[in-house]
Amino acid sequence: MAALKTLQQLARQHGTPLFVVDHDVLRRNYATFRKYLPRVQAYYAVKANPDAAIVKTLYDAGASFDVASMPEFMIVHDCIKNLPIKQRQDWIWDKIIYANPIKANETLQELDPYKALVTYDNSEEIRKIRKYAPHSGLVLRLKVANTGAMVELSSKFGAASGEAVDLILEADKAGLVVEGLSFHVGSQTTNFENFVQAINLAADVYKEANDRGYTKMNLLDIGGGFPAPYDATVKPFRELARKINAELDRLFPKNIQILAEPGRFMVATAGTAVSKIIGKAVRDGKLCYYVDDGVYHTFSGIVFDHCHYHMNAFKKGPAQICTVFGPTCDALDVISMAEELPSDLERGDLLYSVNIGAYSVASSTPFNGFPPARVVHINR
């Protein structure tokens, strides 16, 4: 994150609430991912933070992209819009996966000219793709264990392993090409065995498909879920990478292309929120601070991402357990009921929250008329 002095200077310059993105951290996170998973191409999950400047920095670093809507697709497309059409189509085929298994007919029609990779997990989606995007390459998403993930996804997406090869053969019969398999172990997965089990399941499906005569698959997408280091309980990324590398090397030959969809891992530690205390009260004997950011804005991850963000004061002093409220009139707008902060903070003093780059400003709203935080980018 940016130095505390820099954060204070930016708050004075731009006002609050403020969301600061450090692009050096983005580049460092991408380099770390590539260092420890050298066989895996990183497809940044744009939904984690779709800011165009973040996408551009990762594009320049060599990233590929996981998109889940046409607006996300077009954010990435803007990075390559000056390339010749043929070169642009080749880049999209190799560097973008549309990883939302359920797509509207209109979306498929828009995607078809790009011949993009798309995921699916059911027969109805096969019929839709055949009709509206027949030039797409298909990737079958498998249902895998999400045990220990902060946000589980397996209840909404994924084909059961017992029906997987039938869905591959059904797509093949429809004249479509299934390029490979994908899975997602759940967001912020600290249970590393989820990855081990999922890779083994995918290897079993690969083998069954080969045994039943389908030999066209050449990729595996191991999804997202790579945990951000929110606290000391999250084991180092290199430990997870060691497990993943061992299973990939054991089960998948070198000619199989390996993809992943890191979102949170790339951007969480690159974002810092700065807010200002706008009110102070004692309620039922407890000190309460009110700030100009909240769960409808940068701290939306508290509601939508099951995440807890700690508030920190720039000033030092005797601390006590406080409640921190956001600025809206909704009682849901609570950042924390138990935050340890100095007891002598005043209106106008600043607070900051680190590691808030993922699933935060991405879901901000103008609820109650309060605007989302101003976004400021640091490129050192």
Burial letters 252-263, b for 16+ CB under 10 A, else e: beeebbbbbbbb
pLDDT in the model for residue 89: 86
Between CA 298 and CA 360 the distance in angstroms is: 5
* pLDDT at residue 370 greater than cutoff 70: yes
pLDDT: which is higher, 151 or 181? 181
**How is 143-210 classified by DSSP, letter by letter?**
P---TTEEE--TTTS-B-HHHHHHHHHHHHHTT-EEEEEE----EEE--THHHHHHHHHHHHHHHHHH
pLDDT in the model for residue 2: 74
**To which H or E segment does residue 370 belong?**
none
Average pLDDT for the chain: 94
Contacts of 157 (CB under 8 A, 6+ apart): 101, 102, 121, 141, 143, 184
At residue 39 the predicted structure's pLDDT band, cuts being 50, 70 and 90, is very high
**How is 300-326 classified by DSSP, letter by letter?**
GHHHHS------EESS---EEEEEEE-
**What pLDDT, in 10s, does the model give residues 208-246?**
999 999 999 999 999 999 999 998 889 999 999 999 999
- What does the pLDDT average to over 273-281? 97
* pLDDT at residue 149 greater than cutoff 70: no
Report the top-level CATH class of 4-19+269-378: mainly beta
**What pLDDT, in 10s, does the model give residues 337-366?**
999 999 999 999 999 999 999 999 888 899
Domain with CATH 2.40.37.10 in the chain: 4-19+269-378
At residue 100 the predicted structure's pLDDT band, cuts being 50, 70 and 90, is very high
Domain range 23-267, CATH architecture:
Alpha-Beta Barrel (3.20)
The pLDDT > 90 percentage for the chain reads: 86
At residue 155 the predicted structure's pLDDT band, cuts being 50, 70 and 90, is confident
DSSP state of 142: B
User: Do strands 374-378 and 18-22 pair parallel, antiparallel, or not at all (unpaired)?
Assistant: parallel
Domain with CATH 3.20.20.10 in the chain: 23-267
- Angstrom distances, CA of residue 90 to CA of 42, 95, 231, 342, 360: 18, 8, 40, 56, 33
Between CA 195 and CA 125 the distance in angstroms is: 26
pLDDT in the model for residue 304: 87
- Of 58-62, 148-152, 357-361, the range with the lowest mean pLDDT is 148-152
**Nearest one of 230, 142, 134 to 180, comparing CA atoms:** 142
How far is CA 335 from its chain centroid?
21
* pLDDT at residue 87 greater than cutoff 70: yes
How much of the chain is helix, strand and coil, in % rounded to 5?
40, 25, 35
Instruction: Return the structure tokens found at 248.
Output: 């990939």
Tokens 């951000």 found at: 228
Between CA 44 and CA 282 the distance in angstroms is: 44
- Angstrom distances, CA of residue 34 to CA of 31, 63, 123, 252: 5, 10, 35, 19
Catalytic one among 79, 288, 322, 329? 329
Contact 167, 141 (CB under 8 A): no
At residue 148 the predicted structure's pLDDT band, cuts being 50, 70 and 90, is low
- Whether 79 is catalytic is no
